[in-house]
Amino acid sequence: MSINDRIAALRRELQRHKLAAYLIPSSDPHQSEYVASHWKSREWISGFTGSTGLVIVTPDHAGLWTDSRYFIQAEQELATSEVVLHKLKVPHTPEYLDWLRDTLPEGSTIGLDGWLFSVAQIRALHRTLHQQNIEVHSDLDLIDTVWADRPALPRAEVFELPLTVTGQSRADKLAVVSRKVEEQNCDYHLVADLADLCWILNLRSSDIDYNPVSIAYLLIGPQQHQLFIDSQKISPELRTQLRADGIHLQPYDGLKDFLTQLPTTARVLLDPRGTSIALYATLEEEQVVRGEAPSILLRAIKNETEVQHIREAMRKDGVALTRLYRWLEGRLAEGPISEVAVAQQLDAFRRAQGDYYGESFSAIVGYGANGAIVHYRPLPEQCADLQPEGILLLDSGGQYLQGTTDITRTTALGRATAEQKRHFTLVLKGHIGLARVHFPHGTRGNQLEVLARQALWEQGLNYGHGTGHGVGFFLNVHEGPQAFGSGATGKAATVLEPGMFTSNEPGYYQTGDYGIRIENLVLCVEAAQTDYGRFLKFETLTLFPIDQQLIEWELLTSVEKQWLEAYHREVYAQLAPRLEAEEREWLRQQCGLESV
């Protein structure tokens, strides 16, 4: 079926259910960013493959709402169908609600699958649409009706991380979370977020590409805990270990029935942003306590064991990238090479480092104009061939047993233009500004982000994405609660704490020509105790050279040059012992070191 045929099939279901519109989000029942193939409904109905977006189908319109990171990609992927791109003015803002209110007839009915929408989303929907007396039916999975060859639910085996890796036992984590639950006068805590669940239980799996999680729910109780999961994923040995920690296995699809059997006096803590309306509606209003899941902040603050493992993951990643860029230099001397081949070779170099479980996201190998597509993904026979000229933007990451990596480097494959150097250096100044800042405890990401944008702003330039996101420990590459962003609410308003692990990734994008982004991962650490209180700073953990061919040195201050030299000396010191002699010499030159 073509995209238009799929939309036509869905419209027949709209007519049968007397619906004015049907909403298809990007999420799964756990409100995940990346989802298993079974829940890629929005991609199936529209052809848009980006990680964020929502589709609305009406009898005479099909629209996709997404943000500026995906505008170019969406325009390309929607070009052969009737789906119309609706550009969000502000990322993560549900402007589709206003469109529904202003477009649909008063008193009409819309449909959606309540498993895929959070409590918070449905409440926002009702607040906006009640003005027009628009009714919402949230128990309709119409996609399942029209998607004949829909993939089955994943069944990847679950494995346990040892204490030597996690630094904290499952029993200890459950005890800490349980205390937080009790402090809110609750009896139970429903954990729907897959990363939260896997962090608490020290479990990992591969149900979802790039994210080492398992599809499951966890209900933390006063005496024992219930893990709702396909039992085929759990080995007899792991089942015994879970039972020893008071964790009992239940069928994945048994959670709703279990919730209905709880005492009416039971109080259940749940996060309305991460819990589906389908589950929420199972409980009585007086049973629900809405609040942020305690594990979100707990897992964001890495313990010393995790930090030491992350440092090792960074060394492994730096070696893999060193070998990739040396390989690329030699390969380009022989002739053009595809973006896909570069991504595949990088994955191979990472895999050779050991304890590697795959990419942390699909590598963005953007050559030339493709680099200006923020979340570009090269596909076989649809990608560019690299030549010994122009600019390459390579944003990639790996999932190691020792941690999750995410790094972006922009590299000149030939002689850079004056404009390219100027833009690169402005981005670099922003990157360094954020990397070297000291700040008082209590500071939030939205108070620091201007440091990353200031040099660009002074030239009337900007970029349309956030400057940094939290990163998990051998978990999701995008993790809350902290971020570097401009918003006064949400993740960017979270207070930064020692142990938080965050990306620093300003950029600039010249549509149709090239893209620039410099990304390292930084750890929030103690800086000093002064008369004005505690001060914090960032330690850059990512280890790979920044391309000095693209720097306009006159634009850098002496302090910025000192930071860059110190960073490159640290890169060389950490990576050189793991490299062969020729690799060490290549790295020394890339770091701009006359002697070591």
Helix (H, G, I), strand (E, B) or coil at 109: strand
Report yes or no: 72 and 372 within 8 Å, Cβ to Cβ. Answer: yes
Confidence of residue 142 (pLDDT cuts 50, 70, 90): very high
Query: Is the CATH code 3.90.230.10 the one for domain 304-590?
Result: yes
Of residues 508 and 486, the one with the higher pLDDT is: 508
Phi and psi angles of residue 394, each rounded to the nearest 5 degrees, phi first: -125, 110
Of 437, 409, 436, 225, the C-alpha closest to 317 is 409
Q: How much is the pLDDT for 375?
A: 84
3-146 against 159-292: fold identical? yes
* Beta strand ranges found along 26-185 (DSSP E): 54-58, 61-66, 84-87, 109-111, 135-137, 159-160
Distance in angstroms (rounded) separating the CA atoms of residues 596 and 588: 8
CATH homologous superfamily, domain 3-146: Creatinase/prolidase N-terminal domain (3.40.350.10)
Mean pLDDT confidence for 48-66: 95
Report yes or no: 136 and 114 within 8 Å, Cβ to Cβ. Answer: no
Query: Is 103's pLDDT higher than 80?
Result: yes
Phi and psi angles of residue 564, each rounded to the nearest 5 degrees, phi first: -65, -40
Q: Residue 428's Cα: distance from chain center in Å?
A: 23
- Token couple for 85: 């791109």
Confidence of residue 487 (pLDDT cuts 50, 70, 90): low
Please name the residue that has the structure tokens 């609750």: 186
User: Which residues on neighbouring strands pair with residue 417, listed in sequence order?
Assistant: none
Mean pLDDT confidence for 481-501: 86
Of residues 92 and 311, the one with the higher pLDDT is: 311
Mean pLDDT confidence for 331-356: 97
Query: Is 489's pLDDT higher than 60?
Result: no
Mean pLDDT confidence for 455-475: 96
Q: How much is the pLDDT for 490?
A: 67
Query: Is 521's pLDDT higher than 80?
Result: yes
Distance in angstroms (rounded) separating the CA atoms of residues 587 and 337: 23
Q: Where are the domains of the chain?
A: 3-146, 159-292, 304-590
Mean pLDDT confidence for 473-498: 88
Mean pLDDT confidence for 126-153: 95
Q: What is the pLDDT of residues 372-428, one digit of tens each?
A: 998 888 988 889 999 999 999 999 999 999 999 999 999 999 999 999 999 999 999
Of 398, 231, 229, 426, the C-alpha closest to 312 is 398
* H-run or E-run covering 562: helix 558-575
Q: What is the pLDDT of residues 223-264, one digit of tens each?
A: 999 999 999 999 999 999 999 999 999 999 999 999 999 999
Q: What is the pLDDT of residues 165-212, one digit of tens each?
A: 999 999 999 999 999 999 999 999 999 999 999 999 999 999 999 999
Query: Is 294's pLDDT higher than 80?
Result: yes
Mean pLDDT confidence for 25-42: 96
The chain-wide mean pLDDT, for the chain, equals 96
Parallel, antiparallel, or unpaired for β 84-87 and 403-404? Answer: unpaired
Mean pLDDT confidence for 88-101: 81
Mean pLDDT confidence for 322-329: 98
Helix (H, G, I), strand (E, B) or coil at 552: coil
Q: How much is the pLDDT for 596?
A: 64
* Angle, helix 304-334 to helix 581-590, in steps of 10 degrees: 90
Architecture of domain 159-292: 3-Layer(aba) Sandwich (3.40)
Phi and psi angles of residue 379, each rounded to the nearest 5 degrees, phi first: -125, 145
Report yes or no: 74 and 63 within 8 Å, Cβ to Cβ. Answer: no
Mean pLDDT confidence for 496-502: 98
User: Which residues on neighbouring strands pair with residue 110, listed in sequence order?
Assistant: 21, 136
In Å, what is the CA distance from 487 to each residue of 92, 345, 484?
11, 38, 9
Q: How much is the pLDDT for 92?
A: 58
Query: Is 52's pLDDT higher than 60?
Result: yes
Report yes or no: 539 and 522 within 8 Å, Cβ to Cβ. Answer: yes
Mean pLDDT confidence for 565-574: 98
Distance in angstroms (rounded) separating the CA atoms of residues 161 and 156: 16
Distance in angstroms (rounded) separating the CA atoms of residues 31 and 28: 5
Query: Is 91's pLDDT higher than 80?
Result: no
* Angle, helix 450-457 to helix 418-435, in steps of 10 degrees: 150
User: Which residues on neighbouring strands pair with residue 386, listed in sequence order?
Assistant: 337
**534 CB-contact burial (10 Å; exposed 0-12 / middle 13-18 / buried 19+):** middle
